Amino acid sequence: MANKEIEKKEEVKKVSKKKSDTKTSKKTTTTKKVTSKESAPKKRTTKKVDLEQVDNKIKEDLVKEHVKESINEQPKEEVKQEKTKFGIFEYVLLLVIISLVFSLIGYFIGLKGNKSIDDDYVTVNKELREFIEEYNYILENYYGDIDESELINSAIKGMLSAIDEYSGFIDNGSNNNSISLKGEYDGLGIGVLNDDRGNIVIVTIYKDSPAEKAGIEVGDIVSKINGEDMTNQDNSVLVEKVAELDDINLTIIRDDEELEFNLKKEHVVLQSVGYEMLENNIGYIQVGIFAENTDEQFEEALTSLENQNMQSLIIDLRGNSGGHLTTVKNMLSLFLNDTHVIYQTEDENGIEKVYSTGNEDKDYEIVVLQDLSSASASEVMASALREQLDAYIVGTTSFGKGTVQTLRVVDGIGEYKVTTMKWLTSNGVWIDSNGIAPDLEVQLNEEYYSNPTRENDNQFQAAVDYLKGEN
């Protein structure tokens, strides 16, 4: 009997060891990487996403969302880093997929009422499994090399393109718009684009920037950076090179002549506000965009004009495509006390009224100049000043953008924006596609386009005449 028991124990040990060896072998197989591009094509070095791990991750997230609902806690916008057993790429992939699925297919967990966790889990799980199965199939069966990051980027672009015209993926290199909205950055103070021949052309020179001080001009073609040829390169390559360097040598082609400029990056603050005092104590403030620092610049301009005994004000929002809602809220709070609604937002949770945080109502007359390019935050400002302070609008009907986008940043992938809500005027009007009609419609003179002077700016002249009592 003793011998038989010993034999049985030995058999159990052998079976246990065999299972352990099998698990170790499987684990090694799924996590092994080929480090040499020459030894194997890239598709064999890719990592498949484990569906079972994804299932568990989704299940945990769904439970967490229902716990949040029970204590009336709203999901946070920021992307948080978590410790998981995935590698970096699998983690980023899961983060992108989960956030997009919740945003794009309408499953805002915990807000649907009578659905159970299991119902939500089965539906979302099915959608993700289908995506991941096709992703793995492509990695395993494509005949050539595959860039996994580009594959995910393309998938995100495809999903966002199916929603609306304002949702979209933002490439890492194309940061001109991001810089404009931030209002400051460390760089040379230039904006670049590719022309129809593939040249990298300087289209913007920011005031007091290293580029302006060095004598670089709009229209210059960048042919080299630190000796590296930029011919037929995408402008994002130049942007990335500048980000990596401190001391920069640019070779510029201007009028078929090659010029060299040695530059050092500096902190560049973009001026989005311009102002001056006109005759009859009429103040004039022009706002180019609602960047993160525009409200500070606007307050400085308004204070300066008021200290000069300003009696009335023109706010020029022509060509202003919008920007940050927080910025326009701060600007409107300079004109209205905290009893005033300045705009409203609407999403699946209902309508929320946003109030001014100001201390007083301004008592001078205000004229807002707008045109077809005045959109979004520009329309928030124009509508609030008219509805709450009887401001007068001159120009043409505005663009009509009545939605709000939220920016999402994913490490290793990039950033994208997705439409998350509507905005309504302070009186609850949704202006999307309709725009804001002016009180006095004035089409800009054709002469202004060829000779942009104040004398040819009949919209500006109409605003001045109104405040002088001549309209």
Domain ranges in the chain? 51-162, 184-269, 273-467
Categorize the per-residue pLDDT at 181 as very low, low, confident or very high, splitting at 50, 70 and 90.
confident
**High-pLDDT (> 70) share of the chain, %:** 71
pTM over 0.75: no
Instruction: Give yes or no for a contact between 106 and 127, defined as CB atoms under 8 angstroms apart.
Output: no
Which residue among 383, 388, 401, 459 is the active-site one?
401
Which residue among 103, 333, 376, 383 is the active-site one?
376
Instruction: Give yes or no for a contact between 170 and 417, defined as CB atoms under 8 angstroms apart.
Output: yes
Catalytic (active site) residue 81? no
Catalytic (active site) residue 154? no
Please state, in angstroms and rounded to a whole number, the distance separating the CA atoms of residues 117 and 99: 17
Instruction: Give yes or no for a contact between 241 and 300, defined as CB atoms under 8 angstroms apart.
Output: no
Categorize the per-residue pLDDT at 149 as very low, low, confident or very high, splitting at 50, 70 and 90.
confident
Closest CA to 311 of 342, 279, 288: 279
The token duo for 386 is: 């008219």
CATH of domain 273-467: 3.90.226.10
Categorize the per-residue pLDDT at 266 as very low, low, confident or very high, splitting at 50, 70 and 90.
very high
Q: Write down the pLDDT at residue 180.
A: 77
Closest CA to 402 of 465, 339, 325: 325
**High-pLDDT (> 90) share of the chain, %:** 48
CATH of 184-269, one of 2.30.42.10, 1.10.10.10, 3.40.50.300, 3.40.50.620: 2.30.42.10
Which residue among 167, 312, 405, 426 is the active-site one?
405
Catalytic (active site) residue 401? yes
Q: Write down the pLDDT at residue 85.
A: 44
